[in-house]
Structure 1
């Protein structure tokens, strides 16, 4: 049993990373091996349109471009569970997240009949952290992020979207020009809600592995 964890946030020890690490612990508790990768440490871009994955006789679901992401694409398709997380930047996932999804999709898409080459099954947990409140997310972001979650259905497994709202963006707001945020309210949200978010992430990681074993 193999769980692959991809952090598509540039911060290695803050909200998104903490959620992913908690989910990874849940996966471990259910008996899975876990590999954790910070994507911003790696050298890669989005699809370069080399078209090698579309050549006749090419290996299916394999990206031929030689950079740090291609081996990870292989690992995604071989995993039992994928846990991937992103912060929200200007209402969207990070650029790193989009680069991964772009290449994951392109090498698994048939240009003969637009079917999915991938015949395996990978359960997915998608964790999204944001400054926005739940009300703001539900009103302006929810539909879009449910659409991003649907894109992961190319892996043929369950896709669990977990939005984490009203996060603490920095440890000390007084050091930054960030008067648009209520420091006291942010800290209260952190103390009250984030421990529950971490526990929920743990449970998701655990459940996705257990369901794979059933």
Structure 2
């Protein structure tokens, strides 16, 4: 069994990456009687673009039908992920959306599997389980008020159509800096952020772990 976590954050040891690792730990806990391989793929380590609309993945009889033909750092990654048993995506939220790096990745992952037939069906090699972890600076109330969820739902819609309905969790009101005094952030209280992190982030880590436990059932 192979489970991959896709880190859409430029940081490898902060909020998003930490929660992804907790989720992978949960997977290992839930399938401890089976051999399981887990790996975090850090997208910001890779050089690639979004979809280039070459349509090689749609060309009937073509060697790249059903898979992305672009030969960059994602080529072998996408091939590896095509045989995964589960994918856990994680992203910080920038301007109400997932990171641009993850968005470009999803274009490359999704489009080859989406068939231009009457049902827009999927030709994914495996109906793998999926999950999505969102981390963001805004509170849960503000997230709902601004309408973030409608944007997130678009990503989740395609995950369900192409693979499986994703498990979802949110980590809100995150602590962004090691030292707030070094940055122009008058709209936030460092004391309140620190107190919230002290109480809430351990709970978020537990939620991420449980997400991993429930991913493979």
Task: State if a TM-score over 0.5 links the two structures.
Answer: yes
Aligned 8 A contact 1:5 1:82 in 2 = yes
Q: Deviations over 1:28-79 (max 9, x none)?
A: 2223310211000001010112221122223543111101112222233211
Partner of 1:80: 85
SS of residue paired to 2:3? strand
Partner of 1:137: 143
If the length of structure 1 is used for normalisation, what is the TM-score?
A: 0.92
Q: Which runs of 5+ in 2 are unaligned?
A: none
Q: Determine the C-alpha separation between the residues in 2 that align with 1:82 and 1:168.
A: 26
Cα drift, residue 119 of structure 1:
5.5
1:187 aligns with 2:204: no
Q: Determine the C-alpha separation between the residues in 2 that align with 1:142 and 1:205.
A: 22
Cα drift, residue 174 of structure 1:
0.6
Partner of 2:115: 110
Assess, with a 3 A threshold, how the Cα gap between structure 1 residues 145 and 77 changes in structure 2: closer, same or farther: same
1:19 aligns with 2:25: no
Dislocated runs of 4+, deviation >3 Å: 58-61
Cα drift, residue 166 of structure 1:
0.3
SS of residue paired to 1:158? coil
**What does 1:10-159 align with in structure 2 at a 5 Å threshold?**
10-31=10-31, 32-58=36-62, 59-113=64-118, 114-118=120-124, 120-140=126-146, 141-159=148-166
If the length of structure 2 is used for normalisation, what is the TM-score?
A: 0.91
Q: Determine the C-alpha separation between the residues in 1 that align with 2:123 and 2:24.
A: 28
Q: Which runs of 5+ in 1 are unaligned?
A: none
CA RMSD, aligned part only? 1.5
